[in-house]
Structure 1
Amino acid sequence: MLGMIIAFQEYSPFLGFTGSEFVGLRHFSRIFSEPEVLRVIWNTLYLSFLQIAFAFPAPIILAVLLNEVRNQLYKRLIQTVVYLPHFLSWVIVVGLFFIFLRSNGIINRILQVYLGFEVPVDFLTEPDFFRPLIIIQVIWKEIGWGTIIFLAALAGINPDLYEAAIVDGANRWRQIWHITLPGIRSTIVILLILRLGHVLDSGFEQIFLMLNAFNMEIGNVLDTFVYYKGIQQSDYSFATAVGMFKGVVGLILVGGANYLAKKFGEDGIY
């Protein structure tokens, strides 16, 4: 943490922490003045909110569906299958998508042979496909991990509540709406609060592997921007300032979301 002092310096590796010039908040002012940085912040926020809207509810929905399965063998088989991708690195996940989605890959072959497409679809270079592919990859890789947490929360719901609902004539959908979802509401709130703390953290490795010259304008996020600025262009001070800015925003969002959660009667995280 002491090394973050370079965010307030014009840091030079040859001069070190003590010899580099102190410039105050100059690098932080650049965050809000340079058009490139504002575009990168927008890309990061847009992608993060897409993940919250689509990837965050996915394990909740899957956990609720699995909770309704009565065949335990089938239930465990599905859990194992959806959980396995969590152990794959992003290099493998992105590599698999490259194999399936390249111009001569199986997806384009199906589109051409069975659906009559005359030319292959540029899934990997067309900017419009970048964000949907990122969301699909996140869901496929992490849905099993999130499902474990919600299934554990579902196991704590009193079975007597379901029996009472059946006696009252509630169907499956009513039981899910009035018993299952309220029973895991506190878990959902806590995980959502923690997720908001990473709203400016889109994940470096996945984005870096998916970036190319065609989708750089909409795909470059703060994590990759810090890498290009700090490592490739040796602008260490500015890259550190951007990283500190991410941390402060995350702290504010977590604190604000936790405050609102308590206002609405939830426990929050502290």
Structure 2
Amino acid sequence: MERGGVDGGGSGIGRACCEVLAREGARVVAADINLQSSQETLSLLPGSQQHMAVGVDVSDKGSVEAAFKSIQKHYGEPPSLLVNSAGILALAPHTDTSEEEWMKIIDVNLKGTYLITQSFTKMLLDGRGEVQGTMVNVASIAAKTGLPDFEPYAASKGGVVSLTKNCAAALIRKGIRVNCVLPGLITTPMIQLLKEDLQADIKKSTPLGRAGRPHEVAELIAFLLSDRSSYMVGSCVEVTGGYMM
């Protein structure tokens, strides 16, 4: 049975990924900076006793390494599937964004993806010859568009796209496939940070005329984690309802 780790698994797209992967038969590790949220996710999963909740600060290397050690201790082996979905958003005019605010977003969204990816890869490869692992990073359509007040977030997600492609090139010959998704406007807790008029404008620019649902992104991620996407490496797939196509 596959073992899937989902950081940011306490809510939104991460929680939806946990639900879809559990439905597909994987043993799921829901990891989140808010351990209670991870535990709440576990309560939603079928066969919850075979899953695991972990608290982790993805921007802290020690916290990340401790989380992976606890997973290996619990299951006796590292996860073979990974979803990097932890992320934060803060909006401010470019001239008003402080260095502290900028670095906080970069630390979670980009550095966090790097640290999780690094620990996952090291643990999966440690002492093994051939391995089979799959990773999906959650970026954002903001990485490819220009939106006022999104600069730190968009830059961090652009970094995730670049990180995905470079990791994909480095890891595929070691048996690990890496891809990413670029969601548009999705009905997660993060959407509450957007003013209603901005949400309305984005929906008007979306051919489907609505925001997406977390499970619509999670189903794509599950496909990218599965053997059904075996010829996809370094792909960054938009799931936006047609926004900015």
> Between Structure 1 and Structure 2, which shows a larger proportion of helix residues?
1
> Between Structure 1 and Structure 2, which shows a larger proportion of strand residues?
2
TM-score (norm 1): 0.25
TM-score (norm 2): 0.27
Larger radius of gyration, structure 1 or 2? 1
